[in-house]
Chain A
Amino acid sequence: MSHANRATEFNKDESKVNWHDKALWYVREKRDKSAHNVQGWEYLRQLGSGIKANVLSNLDEYLVQFESNAKSNGVQVHWASNAQEHNEIVSSILDRHNAKKVVKSKSMLTEECHLNPYLEAKGIEVVDTDLGERIVQLAEEPPSHIVLPAIHKTKEEVDELFQEHLGTKPSGGNPEYLVGEARKHLRDKFMKADAAITGVNFAVADTGGVVVCTNEGNADMGVHLSKVHIACMGIEKIIPKEKHLGVFLRLLARSATGQPITTYSSHFNKAEEGKEMHIVIVDNGRTEQLSREDFRASLHCIRCGACMNTCPIYRRSGGHSYDYTIPGPIGSILSPGKDLKKHSSLPFASTLCGSCSNVCPVKINIHEQLYKWRQVIVQEEKQPILKKSIMKTAGVVLSKPKLYKLAGKSARFALKYAPKFMIYNKLNAWGKARDLPEVKNDNFDDWYKKRNKNG
């Protein structure tokens, strides 16, 4: 199924889509306010981008340095070429400790590797402890956003899920009550856990330590209460020096939610006495992406989610419509590298407005990469698939006036020229569009038909 079809599915519940759209735009606005409060913000982004570019150009050396520093702190370091190896390594560590109950804190990498089903098949209980992740885990769904995993769920839906799985009372979706119940439920899991698995936000080459950022405190509750900590990271999480955290931690939370920093930024260098710490370094397609000159900058990503919050297509199509672990604009440039055929509709799930590139804290040229993937796909895929179903993507989401209110002239102008990424700054109008006149129902289709005829 293409992105367009799945987006159509999401658009069936109009009020929910409108809420989703607004909620994410609100997060984007918080990001703006927060960024404007920082003296030298643009320079900070430049530094973030420059440091990441250096990292990629020297990644092997940094990884070796990181490994040797971690080892000298008593941390055990493992390397996995792919998801299968990653899962086997994690499982073998758990086996050695006879660990049957595992608490996990947010890690898109373990999602990517499908670690949960792998461990569950071996009789291990894996509990996702970030509240949003727990919600989607109970619903047996993947996260729909990398920072706000349950953003597609209404509070009433959460209420029902909790009644069914946690035995809560009907509360009409009272957030305080539901969070309180989740706290009790998960505290019990933390107390009984044998092992904790976490993701990694940053791995510091010159100290061998890893940093994990959460607002809920779930990573720390898990790690400090269990005997074994397994931290799983993609190779691109490396930063050269600890001091560089001073750049990235300033960028991350502000870009993600508009907070000045996450509640907890935890620096793990050594295991607590009598405990073990493991780090699993994973490739799983990343070195291949590194080889693609046009697309390697996608590995700069620090997973803040800002490009999703700002994307007019993401906001109106929902994370699940991308059918990839990382949704949204960044997912649309990472996924074709993993499986071009399967994800060929994703680079088309964009207006190429450039808003993603404008907010990206590490200055990834996301919209240009989307355009470049389109060119690759046009060459590799047969045309009819492309034109009939793929180009529909933006159409589905944008063509319904009630669903998507576009700016008047400037937006239409931009649509007309959308594939040429010269004019996108104008397209900040996508976001401000709410106050402006609605576009006619057939606007995008018209444009597309004309475009078809012309060429």
Chain B
Amino acid sequence: MKIVVCVKHVPDTAEADVVITPDKKGIKKEGLAFGINEWDEYALEEAILTKEKYGGEVVAITIGGKDSEDTLRRCLAKGADRAVRVEDPALEGSDAYALAKALGAVIKKEMPDYDIIFTGTQAGDDGFAQVGQTLAETLGIPHAALVTKVEIQDGKAKIHRELEGGLEEVLEIQLPAVLAVQTGINEPRYVSIMGIRKAKKKELKVLNLSDVGLSPDEVGEKGSLLKLEELYVPPVEKMAEILTGAPEETAARLASILDEKGLIPK
């Protein structure tokens, strides 16, 4: 099996404050912890599990700056055989469509005989949920998003896709295909720092646009169909009544509110 996994290095903003930069095009990165996108971590694990089961090779690909090598090193340590990072100033301002084109170009160059491409369903930062599916289209192969189970059977895969309301659909998909995985599909393994150090010997290639045969016009703002005009703090439409004070006080207030509303069973 020739397996590709596309990963992204993203900031963790679940708890941290998000501050928009003065040009309104991005957020301040200082002080934020970065790591592999949550969905991609599951995609990576699925890629490695697939290799462990059927043999073959896994190549991990990212588009991003030098710092995203952290994420690639983890991929290598967990079991990817080699990694490719694409960096080029012309990629600045790319939308999901342009990124998919760039990924497609890297894949065609680095693993043209792929059988399966794993991506995460979405990234925690921009939340587009479209790169994997777009990539499939640019490569002319089928895809499935929100994949929660994969069983490979010669030339095909039987997959589960998550639907709403706790329902799943079972599909048969022809390979090669792009499978954009949903979290929870597996249990991503731990990789130690020693493991990461050992993996330093594995190949981590850095390419630019011309290496993958793309012209600057095909990516970045020029090659994109969508343009970020500005970021802004969401207007607060409705805001909860915030109870203030020490925990005993807020708890007491809340308990009496619940009591007034008849929400405490007696």
Q: Do these two chains interact?
A: no
| Interface residues, chain B, with chain A CB atoms under 8 Å away | none
